[in-house]
Chains A and B, each alone.
Chain A
């Protein structure tokens, strides 16, 4: 049975205004991510990788073209509906981890659930399960400052999964880690892809990660160069 598409971009153009000049970050991108994919997007810096990821994550709307996430055209959604789409469908992992320094590991993982009205005990239960899944159950009460880079990124992965999203988007997840730790993180993600059936889209400029992906998307100057 062919895999269903979960993210679809059709002729997406994204322009930014930088002072008086208009920057075309994406210049007509069309691609499809299917359920269960482990897609790696590679390209040099400034190629439009992050903008592409923001489009796929419903953080931004296209200047022209269409972006469908889980069947929804994000160009037609208001801010609230976009936030709800992100909450229910998408998890983010960032290069710089973006953990709240004043909160401990458990609280950081629970953060996306804060506005959901889910019972506190249930929140803690879910967060603990995820921390176990990423191998950090012994670091639950530590603050981000007390964790290593790899541990911080694993906290961020647990945070990205707390809402049980279908899609996890990672922007240079290994960018701030040494090679060995970086590979451990990618392997952890791959495991979640296989075992938890999550769709992963990973943006990187590190070509050595390509071997983990089942789909390789090459981007350059705001255009898709090739897809394998």
Chain B
């Protein structure tokens, strides 16, 4: 029972932690400032004129502006996606200008082949997750939304989410998803000094006016982290509920055991065991149940967590902290659930207990 509770805590929390870590690293990839068009439908429908690139690049402290259109792919190699997050592939259209190893827009590195050149048309660089899922190599063709592209390279970033992406030139991207010419969805502003993000974000907002939404990615990451830690707390609360049920289970088991051993406890008292000795014995037993439950729970929970990670593709993260906390939790539950039965057993009248059938 307690094992189930601890397993639930570990499985759920590791999932929340995994998502947290991954989203955090995904956000960390996109440092600096991002500019969207303010519109009633949200950033997904943002359209910005390319002419703003120069305007922003003229602002002091701005190193370079990377225009981008990021949209989920509708289908890859003829296989459409169901609308769930686990397998979706993001198409990242940007102005890739040379075939260098670093890709600034998502801070990724080319690990096979080359990056995209300005002259590339009909060519893409795929993320490691896409390469693994579709079993592709440099030189292969990949069909995106029904159109074939040649793979010239493979990239890897620090985030599993971002690795599930395909890089292509802006013009190809516009053609593919029917995006208006000379427009982009967002502007990723690379800064001379990343520490000035807040200041420059305000400056850009001031220059561009109300029509645009300027996001400082560090701040964005912070608020995202808050939401996610709330999520972790929620998950922990749900899992703790399971553990409380487990505690009631131990309490019940111990009470039953104590009642069944009524006569035995009477005998122990007759042979000179004090009330405190009896209490200690029952507490040891319930603590032992807690420890065994904790160990089993850690094993099951870690296994479930890995299984979830493998089967659904959701990232999970089992931290040493989570393991030690869960174990401590099981231990405390064991002790607490034993307190009442131990007290009850210690109060047994030896004469009554010895008379019991």
| Residues of A near any B CB (own CB < 8 A) | 50, 54, 57, 59-60, 79-80, 83-84, 86-88, 90-92, 94, 98, 100, 111-112, 114-115, 159-160, 163
24 of the cross-chain contacts (CB-CB < 8 Å) are: A50-B355, A57-B270, A59-B270, A59-B350, A59-B351, A59-B354, A79-B275, A80-B274, A80-B276, A83-B269, A84-B274, A86-B271, A87-B273, A92-B271, A98-B263, A98-B267, A98-B354, A100-B264, A112-B271, A114-B277, A115-B274, A115-B280, A159-B271, A160-B271
B111 at the interface (CB under 8 A from A): no
Across the interface, name the chain B residue whose C-beta is closest to A169: B270
Q: How far is the CA of A100 from the CA of B272 in the complex (A)?
A: 16
Across the interface, name the chain B residue whose C-beta is closest to A79: B275
Question: Least Cβ distance of B63 to chain A in Å?
Answer: 74
Name A's interface SS: helix
Known: A59-B351, A94-B354, A115-B277. A87 touches B272 (CB 8 A): yes
Question: Least Cβ distance of B271 to chain A in Å?
Answer: 4
| Residues of B near any A CB (own CB < 8 A) | 263-264, 266-277, 280, 350-351, 354-355
**Chain B positions within 8 Å of A100 at CB level:** 264, 267
CB atoms of B264 and A80 under 8 A apart: no
**Chain A positions within 8 Å of B266 at CB level:** 98
**Chain B positions within 8 Å of A57 at CB level:** 270
Across the interface, name the chain A residue whose C-beta is closest to B273: A115
Across the interface, name the chain B residue whose C-beta is closest to A160: B271
Q: How far is the CA of A115 from the CA of B280 in the complex (A)?
A: 10
Across the interface, name the chain B residue whose C-beta is closest to A83: B274
Question: Least Cβ distance of A56 to chain B in Å?
Answer: 12
CB atoms of A98 and B272 under 8 A apart: no
Question: Least Cβ distance of B280 to chain A in Å?
Answer: 8
Question: Least Cβ distance of A100 to chain B in Å?
Answer: 6
CB atoms of B272 and A83 under 8 A apart: yes
CB atoms of B274 and A111 under 8 A apart: no
Across the interface, name the chain B residue whose C-beta is closest to A96: B263
